[in-house]
Amino acid sequence: LHLIGSLSSPVLVVHGEDDPTVPVDSADEIVRAVQHPTLVRVPNADHVFKTPNPFPVDGEPSTQLAAVWSAIDSWLQNQLVG
């Protein structure tokens, strides 16, 4: 956490609210440590956003994974357009 605090660039943190692997509090700690954070919590999402691994070639993204993609796209658009 000390090293991430030295980042001067914006940081997007995306975390599933129902992640049994990494506690949600870990995302909060990262957000508190960085200078320019954006936190997106994905409701009803586990560690892999309710997505099978490997993802099927013909598969549809879960609602949770689609929310992650949307959050990343919006964040990047905001960073690029400002």
**Residue 1: per-residue pLDDT:** 85
**Residue 8: per-residue pLDDT:** 92
Helices (H), 15-58: 24-33
**Residue 72: per-residue pLDDT:** 98
**Residue 9: per-residue pLDDT:** 94
**Residue 40: per-residue pLDDT:** 98
Positions of the chain with pLDDT lower than 70, given as ranges: 82
**Residue 60: per-residue pLDDT:** 93
